[in-house]
Chain A
Amino acid sequence: MKEKRAQDPNDPVLPAVEERELVYGGLEAGLGEVFEVPIGPIHPALKEPIRLTFKVRGERIVGVQVRTGFAHRGIEFMGMRQGRNLIQILYLSERICGICSISHPIAFTQAVERAAGIEVPPRAQYIRVIISELERIHSHLLWAGVAAHELGFDTLLHLTWRVREKVLDILEELTGNRINYAIPIFGGVRRDITPDQYPKVREALRYYRGLLNELLDAFLRDPTVEARTRGVGILEPKEAEELCAVGPTARASGLRKDVRQDRPYLAYPDFEVKAITPEDYGLTPMGDVYDKIVVRLLEVGQSIEIIEKALDNMPDGEITSFPKIPALLAHLKKAEGEGLGWHEAPRGEVIHYVRLVSGEESPLVWKVKAPTYSNLMSWYPMFEDQEVADIPIIAACIDPCICCMDRVYLVRDGKEEILTKEELLRLSWEKTRRMAR
């Protein structure tokens, strides 16, 4: 990463002029020499701002630098400011990510429920599971379309996104919104799934079950898709483990790693979720992009099964243990303690940490770890010795969610700062002391 440098106040995103000239290859670069190719922060291959600077010899990548921090919104800071109560923060947590917009609230509500000792009725747990699995279906289909687009296969993008509409319709039917469902609340859910809605959900599931084989065919049997993804962006299992990759990124490398399996939460123990790896499709995991497509598409099938099972065994009863919001707020204000919430988002494990202090409405600490944060490092081995043409699909194959991941960005006196390990350690000590009071 570059040293500290002055930031143009009018142009906070684009790199400073001298840096831009540094990357200029031009005619002098010629053939066969190493020169830098900047990708981002604004680039057609990236759906969100992040800066990847590649050192390239011809078509071969010889080095990469990742710079983040273009989409930091300070959501946790907004949440920890005095004067916001936890229900207001719940809405904030929903807006950390537009695509996994139930994953963050699920992790956040769990963290708060653990901190405040709130029980969640079984029916509410099932509803949370159903919505989050529906979200997984839409998220994986979205990713598949984006991946096809990155490969230049726009037909597959259009067709995948077209079939994705069905699950969005169901989500709208169940929650009132296509995204940002606002379903979980501390102690339960906001809306019930009524029995007359079951057939509609079942019908959508049948639709996707019938479609799944076609999707697998379209993606996995297509010779051009195979030519572009087989052996591209390989992440060895050892590397995946060392770099703490999560979610489909890790599973495609053959690691059976899934929070729903390893630390079941909510109603997930009832479904005995097993982490899916390419082995389940009869393939030896290579950890390449092809395997990541396999895993994600198979997970669509897994989600269908989970939802069907959940609909069959839906328990009766209340949907929330606090039907009245003022009572809930009063309980949360009295609560003291810390809690951790986790959830297997479509992209991997998301973790929220909350510390509540008695007598205060806002939490003292709210810490979010999005899956992309764990997966970002796996880019480095994946980009190694690949071609420029592979950049978009490798960048996309971890299904990056940049604005979820951008959790810290330090600007002091108008200067962007890079923190060293020691400084980070010092900051964490200070924070611990502040929390201990």
Chain B
Amino acid sequence: MSGWAIFGQAVLAVVGGGIVGLVFRGLDRKIAARMQARIGPPLRQPFLDLGKLLVKETVIPKTAVAWVFSAMPFLAVLASFTALLYLPLGPFRPILEGYGDAIVVLYLLAVPALAMALGGFASGSPLGVVGAQRELVMLMSYEFPLAVVLVAVAWRLSAQGIAPAFSLGTIAQNPLWPWVGPLGVIGLVVLLVTMLVVTPAELAKIPFDIPEAETEIAGGLMVEYSGTYLALFYLADVVRTLVMAGLVVAIFIPYGIAGVLGLSGAAAAAVDFLFWLFKLFVVMVVAVTTVRVGMARLKVDQVARGFWLWGTAASLAGLLLLALDKVVMG
């Protein structure tokens, strides 16, 4: 593919990703509101929020380290959108396929969190510092299970003789479910559950919204951000939700329905793309909306202990089951 074609696709993906992300955020808020017996905001509310933030004054506190404070929102939003470009978009291969693989996505997912933490440290507010410390602890606790899930799946693929195993495009085209035996299915389910638990942590949503914790530290690492910078963080968060859901879909449920409906060509691609969006939506509702409605916020030590102990144990168990399955199935 020529450079210009990739560039064009990337622009399309970024604009589309932003819009879809904001629509999904609206749906998330509406569904959460209905679950809480509220009416909830209109679907376009995230667009209004973003627009309002963009025209508001951006305040940089006197006590902040100005360049770090200002650079971090851009870093967060760039990393989130770049991660989107490495994701298989339903029937389409990842736009940047061949320029990096799943490991890059892992890093790109960690970058916004790191950026927020640095922004919090640089904001010069004690609440921001507390939030940043919490963000770093969170990052250290949920990244390992996430990495193990990816490695387990990639290893099983390479054991099957499929290369490049670490490419998300390959992973999405070769779902593991048909090849594994009963042990492997259990292993995959364990990995899927781990992934679904990691998702709200990665996105800092209740019960893992500890770095922001509105009632505790008044927004934590976001406390000093305003105007355009806050809008950028908002956008990064919205896109990251898509990326995390897309990751779950790519690894575990990459199936389309065009084949079942007997479609082909452009119609098949369109239907599969819509179905992919629907899958993203389902994953978001299951892993983010229902969880954040149904739980209280945990404390950072509880989360760290939980992920280091149970998260790690679950992901390793999944890996072990996949390995055993490979031995049993031959």
Contacts and interface: CB of A to CB of B under 8 A. Distances in A.
Contact of B126 (A38, A43, A159, A228): A38
Given A44-B218, A222-B296, A389-B300, A37 B127 contact: yes
A25 B129 contact: yes
A126 B215 CA distance: 40
Interface in A360-390: 387-390
A149 B207 CA distance: 12
Given A24-B63, A389-B300, A152 B36 contact: no
B206 interface: yes
Nearest to A36: B126
A44 B215 contact: yes
Nearest to B137: A59
A158 B38 contact: yes
A23 B38 CA distance: 39
B130 interface: yes
B63 A152 contact: no
B49 interface: no
Interface string B188-229: 000000000000000000110110011111110000000000
Contact of A152 (B65, B121, B206): B206
A152 B207 contact: yes
Contacts, number: 110
Nearest to B208: A152
A37 B126 contact: yes
Interface stretch (A27-35, A267-275, A299-307): A27-35
Given A151-B297, A152-B207, A224-B295, A44 B214 contact: yes
Contact of B37 (A148, A159, A227): A159
Interface string B273-304: 00000000000000000000111111111100
A154 B295 contact: no
A24 B63 CA distance: 8
Contacts of A222: 296
B122 interface: yes
Contact of B216 (A23, A159, A392): A392
Contacts of A154: 36, 206, 293
A29 to B, nearest CB: 6
A59 B38 CA distance: 34
B297 A228 contact: yes
Contacts of A43: 218
Contact of B296 (A24, A31, A38, A228): A228
Contacts of A35: 126, 129
Nearest to A152: B297
B213 A387 contact: no
Nearest to A225: B296
Contacts of B175: none
A38 B63 CA distance: 16
A391 interface: yes
B59 interface: no
A153 B35 contact: no
A387 B299 contact: yes
B315 interface: no
B298 A27 contact: no
Contacts of A58: 133
A224 B291 CA distance: 12
15 contacts: A21-B63, A24-B125, A25-B126, A27-B121, A43-B218, A44-B219, A59-B133, A151-B215, A153-B206, A153-B296, A222-B296, A387-B299, A387-B301, A389-B213, A389-B299
Interface of A: 21, 23-27, 29, 31, 35-38, 43-45, 56, 58-59, 148-156, 158-159, 162, 222, 224-225, 227-228, 387-392
